[in-house]
Structure 1
Amino acid sequence: MASERSTVAEKSLTHYQVLGLARTATEREIKIAYRKAARIAHPDRGGDAAHFRRVTEAYEVLSDAQRRKNYDHSYGARGQTRRTPTAAPGRGFRGYGGGDPRAAHRDGATGFSTRRMPKERHTAADPAVYFPAYETLAPGENPVLPRRTAAQPVHGAPRRRGVFGAASRLEREARSAQLMMQQVLTAIPAARLVNGLAAPYNRGYLDHVLVSGYRIAVIGSMLVPDGAFRWDGSVLLHGSKVVAPPQLIPAARELQELFPECNVTAWVCVHSATGNLFEPVIDYARGTEPDGSNALNVANAARFVREVKGFLAAGPTPNVVDLHILDRLLGGMY
């Protein structure tokens, strides 16, 4: 059993963890780390052949600028083990990440640990706690992320894409980012906002991701006129006009598989052209209210803030900043 756990832990490591590197490692640091790891892992020196192959693969990817960029934008997909969905109850994409993530946390570069975090209940308003804790680092050991980076509540910025409609996109993305900074991050110290990410496997673009504890909210936005709308679960209806929301479900599902320890849910924040947080007025078909239980939730700005805060705060450890999760998300930024 110990051997099995070791194999699973090894497969769960990213290429950076295999070489003991931070994501910001330079080309020189990658070469030095590879030589050191290869000497230890080489079968001729008594090392494990499977581990040596992992070391070699990690070096081949990270030493090539384009392959490294693609790897980062895939959120370390090739370094992660995709787990089979469980029957544990959860919200968002049910069957994934429904269990208590405190039962099996990553333990630095050693993969998964069977240690459990304390069982006392924490609230989203509690001060942020970092995992792995910086205080537990061994002398000379590099942290997953520099503390200054991990403590930063906002990362990245809306990305200018194309020519046509760029101004409108930047406006709504800036509105969404400002809304989350003012009304979500101030209420949840552990929440981190990441702007301008590649969709998993380079399939498109994500405006924003909010992460707190082991809950991830994938955020898109729309800019519409004031008035009465109806959400039927797939499109917004404004009189005879049909407005389709951003296609977030495929990317959110892929992120759910890449981060099986998390609960991943998608939201579209519908902004009013006048800036009124309570406009537009949206009537919801039965079962489509944006309460975090749907694969995709659509809401005006005021309700969006309320629902997203509730979703993030409802996790078992909403005050935790998991450095491994944040590190991988930061790798997905453009």
Structure 2
Amino acid sequence: MPGARPYDGPMPAHVPSHYEVLGVPVTASEGEIRRAYRRAARAHHPDHGGDVVEFRRVTLAFEVLSDPRARAAYDRSYFTSSPQREGGRPAEGAAAASSAEGRPGAAGFTARPAPRAGGQRNPAGEPAVYVPPFEPGTVPLLPAAVAARAEHGVPRRRGLFGAEARIQREERTAALIRRRILGTIPSARLLNGLRSPRDASHVAHAVLAGYRLALVDSMLVPRGNYAWDGAHLIHGSRTVAPPRLAEQVRDFQDVFGELNVQGYILVQTPDENPHEPVIDVRRGAGALVEPLNASKFVRELTFFLSSGPQPNVVLVPALARLLTGLH
């Protein structure tokens, strides 16, 4: 990848996906999958001295990826349905993945924070490093050109009622992330319109940078001062419930155990003033996801993404899995 520098940190240890077993990218066609299966089956067939366990992996991978419905379900589940097996046991989402920040209960490795010269330099602003690197002779889960793209998907939510307002709100949110986040963190990748792992409901936006994933939704309210009580925004006698993002954060955290997942709700006003609305948080109003105006949203999202371990990394397997979940 042009401009990418070698990565010398620890590599994730994980049970391979069906795509990795066959040695094809997630963008592979039916013909490419069929040809890859024939090559892998010949290499691992027990009659030719191959390993029985590896041959079973190859067979399972082909059974899933050669069936359009099974492949679609596998992709929508972010590779957690019909898993490969390690030691005779099914891989289970987060348990099969590695932990990037050493959270208790997650298997795998702990990523080393990138060094900072003199304790000052923030590596989030450095050129993106791809993990694993794109090397000749290897077949990555994503083509290099796709991994290098900063934005994927369309900021649009399907629906009949209020669709125009939702589309406008999501376009504004994507534009803000594009302008204020992608421009300052080269490794950041914006994905618009993901399916939730639980029920295929819509997740408006996600931003991946390093080993951190931010889920983002938005809401539009009139100008003014609001109070946040932990469940509602209160403006005079009016109360507004924000989007239900906390459950989706938990679902993505369960599936992507190698990432630290957090949620953000951007509160917009019609005039697009980044400091509006003013939101006062009531004492004791704790919540997993707190509504933020544009100014605070940009500040907190930037800090979350740039303060993680190796924030200049593009984790290709995680990005590939997320891309298969786009609407």
Fold in common (TM above 0.5): yes
**Alpha carbons 1:267, 1:297 under 8 Å: kept:** yes
Question: In the TM superposition, what are the counterparts of 1:151-230 in structure 2 within 5 Å?
Answer: 151-230=148-227
Same amino acid, percent of matched pairs: 46
Alignment match, 1:23? 26
Aligned twin of 2:293? 300
Alpha carbons of structure 1 residues 331 and 222: separation in structure 2 relative to 1, 3 Å: same
Question: What pairs with 1:280-319 in structure 2 (closer than 5 Å)?
Answer: 280-286=277-283, 295-319=288-312
Report the counterpart of residue 326 of structure 2 in structure 1.
333
Separation (CA, whole Å) in 2 of partners of 1:119 and 1:268 = 29
Quick one: distance in 1 between partners of 2:100 and 2:316?
25
Per the TM alignment, residue 138 of structure 1 is displaced from its structure 2 partner at its CA by 4.4
Task: Show the counterpart of 2:46.
Answer: 43
Q: CA deviation at 1:150?
A: 1.2
The partner residue of 2:316 within 319, 323, 331 is 323
2:111 is the counterpart of 1:102: yes
Instruction: Judge conservation of contact 1:97–1:263 (CA < 8 Å) in 2.
Output: no
After TM superposition, the structure 1 = structure 2 runs for residues 52-131 of structure 1, keeping only pairs within 5 Å, are: 52-78=55-81, 79=83, 81-83=92-94, 95=104, 101-102=110-111, 120-121=115-116, 123-131=123-131
- Once structures 1 and 2 are overlaid, which stretch shifts more, 142-151 or 310-319? 142-151
- C-alpha deviation, 1:40, in angstroms: 2.3
Are positions 1:253 and 2:239 aligned together? no
Q: Write the letter of the residue equivalent to 1:12.
A: V
Paired residue type of 1:73:
R
- Give the letter for the 2:325 counterpart: G
Which has the larger displacement, 196-205 or 262-271?
Answer: 196-205
CA deviation profile, 1:85-109 (whole Å, cap 9, x unmatched): 9xx9979xx7577997426xxxxxx
1:132 aligns with 2:141: no
Distance 1:151 1:120 in 2: 23
Please give the secondary structure, in 2, of the residue aligned with 1:143: coil
TM-score after normalising by structure 1: 0.82
SS at structure 1 position matched to 2:123: coil
Q: What is the alpha-carbon distance in structure 2 between the residues aligned to residue 318 and residue 212 of structure 1?
A: 6
Other structure's SS at 2:273 match = coil
Q: What SS does the corresponding residue of 1:325 show, helix, strand or coil?
A: helix
Distance 1:26 1:84, change over 3 A: closer
Q: Please say if residues 96 and 256 of structure 1, whose CA atoms lie closer than 8 Å, have aligned partners that are also in contact.
A: no
What TM-score do you get using the length of structure 2 for normalisation? Answer: 0.84
Per-residue CA distance 1:251-299 (angstroms, 9 max, x = gap): 211211221111100111011122111111101123558xxxx631320
Q: Deviations over 1:277-332 (max 9, x none)?
A: 1111101123558xxxx631320111101100000011011000111111111111
Equivalent residues of 2:76, 2:197 under 8 A apart: yes
**Closer, same or farther in 2 for the Cα pair 1:165/1:183, shift >3 Å?**
same
Distance 1:163 1:89, change over 3 A: closer
Q: What is the correspondence of 1:141-152 to structure 2 with a 5 Å cutoff? A: 141-152=138-149
Q: Note the C-alpha offset of 1:53.
A: 2.4
Work out whether residues 197 and 208 of structure 1, in 8 Å CA contact, stay in contact via their aligned partners in 2.
Answer: yes
Distance in 2 between residues matched to 1:287 and 1:305, nearest whole Å: 24
User: How many equivalent residue pairs?
Assistant: 301
Runs of 5+ in structure 2 lacking a partner?
1-11, 84-90, 117-121
| Cα RMSD for the two superposed structures | 2.7
Residue 276 (structure 1) aligned to one of 270, 273, 293: 273
8 Å CA contact retained: 1:97, 1:262: no
Instruction: State the 1:233 CA deviation.
Output: 1.7
Provide the C-alpha distance between the structure 2 equivalents of 1:261 and 1:129, rounded to a whole number of angstroms.
17
Equivalents in 2 of 1:154, 1:24: separation in Å?
Answer: 17
